[in-house]
């Protein structure tokens, strides 16, 4: 399975300058926040498959204009072709804006998922906006990661933990990845493509 992941910036190669031949055989799109709803609607339409997303701290228009054909999976587990995918949106609380959570609030979201995680025997992929604390994050209040994400990785060991929020350019896909035990933590700023065998 070929998955396109996006976050934080509209990439011209995927929008105004899109040549679909450069992105063949995309089975699923996942968005990790801070993107215009029109962009997600476009990607969903062009690639013709499901698009799962979580909101970032700058996604203030989604209530009035949600992305068409796309599914918000914040706080729940979605399934696609045998994959179990959990979404947790938002950033750390820093000024009281939308989609901002304290550490305790995010812990509560995860705690509410305990039965669902048990029933599904964990998850394969987690998509978030913020990163885990001390993995790809920064020290300013807005860009600090959540400690409970690290605890989640240790406890459930998803194959992939994919986040946005941390703006950084990469020379190769490998630079995006930090391995934590058996989990690949991936910063998908801009876009990234991963290949998964369900």
Chain mean pLDDT for the chain: 96
What are the structural domains of the chain?
2-195 (3.60.21.10)
125-147 average pLDDT score:
97
Q: What is the pLDDT of residue 198?
A: 67
* pLDDT value, residue 197: 81
pLDDT tops 70 at residue 94: yes
pLDDT (tens digit, 9 = 90+) per residue, 175-197? 999 999 999 999 999 999 999 98
Query: Token pair of 193, please?
Result: 């493509």
Return the ∠ at Cα 26 (arms to 99 and 30), rounded to 5°. Answer: 10
- What share of the chain in percent tops pLDDT 90? 97
Of residues 143, 191, 188, 142, the one with CA closest to residue 161: 188
Copy the structure tokens of residue 140.
């300013």
Contact status, residue 46 vs residue 38, Cβ threshold 8 Å = no
Mean pLDDT throughout 61-85?
96
* Whole-number Å distance between alpha carbons of 26 and 31: 14
Does pTM top 0.75 for this prediction? yes
- Write phi, then psi, for 25 (nearest 5 degrees): 60, 35
């Amino acid at each position: 399975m070929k998955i396109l992941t996006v976050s934080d910036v509209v990439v011209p190669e995927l929008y105004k300058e899109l040549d679909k031949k450069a992105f063949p055989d995309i089975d699923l799109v996942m968005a990790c926040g801070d993107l215009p709803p029109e962009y997600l609607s476009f990607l969903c339409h062009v690639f013709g498959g499901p698009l799962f997303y979580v909101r970032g701290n700058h996604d203030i228009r989604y209530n009035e204009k949600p992305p068409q054909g796309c599914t918000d999976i914040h706080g729940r587990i979605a399934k696609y072709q045998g994959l179990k995918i959990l979404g947790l949106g938002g950033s750390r609380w820093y000024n009281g804006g939308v989609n901002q959570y304290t550490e305790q609030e995010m812990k509560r979201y995860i705690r509410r998922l305990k039965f669902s995680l048990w029933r599904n025997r964990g998850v394969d992929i987690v998509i978030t906006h913020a990163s885990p604390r001390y993995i790809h994050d920064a020290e300013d209040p807005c860009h600090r990661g959540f400690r409970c994400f690290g605890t989640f990785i240790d406890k459930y060991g998803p194959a992939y933990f994919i986040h946005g929020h941390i703006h950084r350019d990469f020379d190769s896909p490998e630079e995006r990845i930090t391995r934590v035990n058996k989990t690949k933590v991936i910063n998908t700023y801009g876009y990234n493509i991963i290949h998964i065998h369900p």
